[in-house]
Structure 1
Amino acid sequence: MAGRIRTITRGGSRWYVDPDTTVKYPGVTSIISMLPKPFLVHWAARMAAETAVTSLAAVQSIAERDEEGAIDYVRNSHLRYTKARAKLGSDAHDLFERMARGEFVGRVHPDLEPYKAGFADFLKAVNPELVRAEDIAWSSTHEYAGSFDAILRVWLDVEGKPTPDRSGTPHLLIVDWKTSKSTYPDVALQMAAYSHADLIISPDGTAEPMPTFDGGAVLHITGEDWSFKPVRIDDDVFAAFLTLRQVFVWDRETSRTVLGRAIAKSARRLVTGTERRAR
């Protein structure tokens, strides 16, 4: 590939576009969004209820001027929360990359200070080597792409614990940073997809084969603490991701073609003379 990969959004999904061939593949996170998450309905309802209760005066004030506006304010509580968390997560990811590259980071926004301190503690406790960061995993074989957070080399002892003096055995890991409240199993689908891709593509469009990994890991870091957890990226997990890839095709393409036009319909209802005279 001679050019930079572009990203576009279509139908609420992110797509990665090869500038040479104009081939576009859906993003890994868009594919994983095909996984059912019924708990999100209850979470969004709770967020709306909490807003209605904790911001009762504000809601009433809005309702006096604009009833529909008040309804939208309560109904969209979860979207405002998600947007704010996404901004914090994006800023934290930028911070982590700069710190992992050895860049000196001075003062940051107060909201990021706990994340900065936590990541500095992680670097000291694990002492990883940054191999790649924020590059694109590209799979022509299975037609998907995505931006991974990092590839790290870490040194582990016989029990699988980090040796910050690098006296243990080196392991090449595909790694994701998470700043959400918890880590969830679908991170394994994400890591498996990246690790099983065909190529790594740099920002300048340079491509090279995806290396063979010794495993995956997620750094879960919050404003209070951090933890570094191993993540399965084996063939069984990747097979589950590929199933979701097929579901994505069904949802975005096949489902739109399966229903044809009616080949028979009920006859138009008879209009009686009484009904005509009543008009």
Structure 2
Amino acid sequence: MGRVRTIQRGGSRFYIHPDRPEIKHPGVTSVVAMLPKPFLMYWAAKMTAELAVDSLPFVEQMAARDRQGAVDYLKGASRRYTKVRADVGSQAHDLFERMIRGETVGHVHPDLEPYRERFADFLKAVNPRLERAEDVAWSDSHEYAGSFDAVLTVWLDDKGEPTPDRSGAPHLLMADWKTSKATYPDVALQMSAYAHADRIIAPDGSTEPMPEFDGAAVLHITPDAWAFKPVRIDEGVFSVFLALRRVFTWDREDSKTVIGRAIAKSAQKLVTGTQRRGK
């Protein structure tokens, strides 16, 4: 079996079947993106307004020379912020993977140093064992795929708290790293999709059934603090993800087929006498 490749199409990521390239499944995050997020409209408007007020003289000078350039500068405020945060998140994820695999990490960029320190604190306090990292969860049954951050074994006591000496009971967890300002409920949809997939495909193309998990947890890590939080990934949560999977198909495929060509329409645009005389 070959490795899994991905492509971008229509703003969404698709995973290509390793042996049958005609089969392309949408990525988990693209499916979760079907969840309505009306607050993003207000957040983007706020970002644009704050940029305009904070850089008013600059924007005024730009508009005098290039009005469209000024418009593009302002309307791109939220997009630029999102890209910066995404870049930091990607670099942090790469750092976390190297650290949890036991690689000695030396000097890192000053922007990443707080994340390195917080993740090192997490490893010391929880002492998880890495089982898998950055492999592909593939669902033949429901036609989706996605790359998960990690599968961990964590030892917990009777209160559900970690025992870093590994004296507690072992629990197999689907794990995710988040570097956003907060943890949001849709992480449960994302992680339930991974955990309920049919199989895991490794980078070398080898595959094995998805294991049974004892639970899931998200590590929320910021430059100032970290928190390891349990996440529900039960059938109820997964059923919501599957509903979004159907919405994805509607949005990308079915919605384009439900309205047919007109079976009757006006022959030509009406031209009034006043319009004729005005020519």
Band of TM-score, shorter chain: over 0.9
Query: For the structure 1 residues 102 and 52, does the alpha-carbon distance in structure 2 shift closer, same or farther, using more than 3 Å as the test?
Result: same
Question: Which residue is equivalent to 2:241?
Answer: 241
Distance in 2, matches of 1:275 and 1:220, equals 66
- Per-residue CA distance 1:104-129 (angstroms, 9 max, x = gap): 00010000000000000000000000
SS at match of 2:48: helix
1:268 Cα offset (Å): 3.6
| Residue of structure 2 in register with 1:4 after alignment | 3
Task: Give the CA deviation at 1:270.
Answer: 5.3
TM-score scaled by length of structure 1: 0.97
Instruction: Tell me which residue corresponds to 1:89.
Output: 89
CA distance in 1, matches of 2:188, 2:169: 23
1:277, distance to aligned residue in structure 2 (A): 5.4
- Distance (whole Å) between structure 2 residues aligned to residue 278 and residue 181 of structure 1: 62
User: 2:189, 2:237 within 8 Å by CA — same for their partners in 1?
Assistant: yes
- Indicate the residue corresponding to 1:168 in structure 2: 168
Cα distance change, pair 189–64 in 1 and its aligned pair in 2 (3 A) = same
CA deviation after TM superposition for structure 1 residue 13, in Å = 0.5
Write the deviation string for residues 143-195 of structure 1: whole angstroms up to 9, x where unpaired.
Answer: 00000000010000111110111111100000000000000000000000000
Matched residue, 1:254: 254
Q: Secondary structure at the match of 1:118?
A: helix
Q: How well do the aligned residues superpose, as a CA RMSD in angstroms?
A: 1.3
Instruction: Tell me if structure 1 keeps the 8 A contact 2:174–2:213.
Output: yes
Q: Which moved more, 1:55-64 or 1:202-211?
A: 55-64
Paired with 1:19 and 1:165, the residues of 2 have a C-alpha distance of 40
CA contact (8 A) 2:18 2:205 kept: no
Supply the distance in 1 between the matched residues of 2:211 and 2:265 (Cα, whole angstroms): 58
The amino acid across from 1:21 in the alignment is R
Structure 2: give runs of 5+ residues left out of the alignment: none
Q: State the alpha-carbon separation in 2 of the partners of residues 236 and 270 from structure 1.
A: 56
Partners of 2:29 and 2:115 lie apart in 1 by 23
Structure 1: how far apart are the matches of 2:192 and 2:259?
35
Distance 1:241 1:141 in 2: 14
**What is the distance in 2 between the residues matched to 1:77 and 1:192?**
33
Q: C-alpha distance in 2, partners of 1:275/1:155?
A: 82
Residue identity opposite 1:153 in structure 2 = T
Q: In structure 2, the residue corresponding to 1:109 is in which secondary structure? A: coil
Residues in 1 aligned to 2:274 and 2:119: alpha-carbon distance in whole angstroms = 81
Instruction: Give how far 1:26 is off.
Output: 0.3
Structure 1: stretches of 5+ with no match in the other structure: none
Structure 1 counterpart of 2:13, one-letter code: R
CA distance in 2, matches of 1:50, 1:276: 50
**C-alpha contact 2:134 2:148 (8 A) present in aligned 1:** yes
The equivalent residue for 1:14 is 13
Q: Following TM superposition, by how much is the alpha carbon of 1:64 offset from its aligned partner in structure 2, in angstroms?
A: 2.4
Aligned residues: 278
Q: What does 1:1-279 align with in structure 2 at a 5 Å threshold?
A: 2-22=1-21, 23-268=23-268, 271=271, 276=276, 278-279=278-279
Q: Return closer, same or farther for 1:261/1:171 CA change in 2, 3 Å cut-off.
A: same
